[in-house]
Amino acid sequence: MYRLYCLFILAMTAFSTPAHAAQGTVNLQSLRGDTPIEKTPDADMYKPMKDAKPLPRDFVQQPPLIPHTIRDYQITRNFNKCMDCHAWNKTRETGATKVSVTHYKTREGQELTNISPLRYFCTQCHVSQADAKPLVGNTFRPGVGMQ
């Protein structure tokens, strides 16, 4: 038992020597860079796009991107700026897209007359369009019948 333990320690020391590490290392880096866990990294600076037509969705269930600026639009317990324009009874005046019918349903499928608490915090799912490179590459394509 003692012998095994010594072997283990030996192995550990061998693995942790820099010479060995340099040989077989895979260069792993997380998306947060070298910021230690206990610190919050600075947010990336994305250039918001000018108000435009909505970009096409990449997959069917994607929350559409917001094609306009949302600076200073408040969403608080008592007030939701987005619904000022996107509520069904406001869209005729504002020309905004109606929020999806799914947004008026509760978890149990009950239809409400106003935004469901499930969908109240719009920016949980919807983000403004920005000229940003993908963080990681991928080759995803939507199903052929859904393009």
In the complex, minimum distance from the CB of residue 117 to ligand HEC, in angstroms, rounded to a whole number: 10
Q: How open is the CA angle 71-87-97, to the nearest 5 degrees?
A: 75
- For residues 31 and 28, give the distance between their C-alpha atoms in angstroms, rounded to a whole number: 10
With binding defined as CB under 6 A, does residue 89 bind ligand HEC? no
DSSP string of 25-94, one letter each residue = ------TTTT--TTSPPPPP---BPPS-SPPPPSSTTPPPPB-S--TT--B-SS-BHHHHHHSTTTHHHH
Query: In this chain, which of 33, 95, 134, 145 binds ligand HEC, going by CB under 6 A?
Result: 95
Q: Which of the 8 DSSP states describes residue 108?
A: T
With binding defined as CB under 6 A, does residue 117 bind ligand HEC? no
With binding defined as CB under 6 A, does residue 114 bind ligand HEC? no
With contact defined as beta carbons under 8 Å apart, do 3 and 10 qualify?
no
Query: In this chain, which of 53, 71, 92, 133 binds ligand HEC, going by CB under 6 A?
Result: 53
With binding defined as CB under 6 A, does residue 96 bind ligand HEC? yes
In the complex, minimum distance from the CB of residue 17 to ligand HEC, in angstroms, rounded to a whole number: 49
> Which of 49/96 has CB closer to ligand HEC?
96
With binding defined as CB under 6 A, does residue 104 bind ligand HEC? no
Residue 115 in 3-state DSSP? coil
**Residues binding ligand HEC: number (CB under 6 A):** 34
> Which of 38/72 has CB closer to ligand HEC?
72
- For residues 103 and 91, give the distance between their C-alpha atoms in angstroms, rounded to a whole number: 15
With binding defined as CB under 6 A, does residue 129 bind ligand HEC? no
Q: Which stretch binds ligand HEC (CB under 6 A): 1-9, 30-38, 95-103, 130-138?
A: 95-103
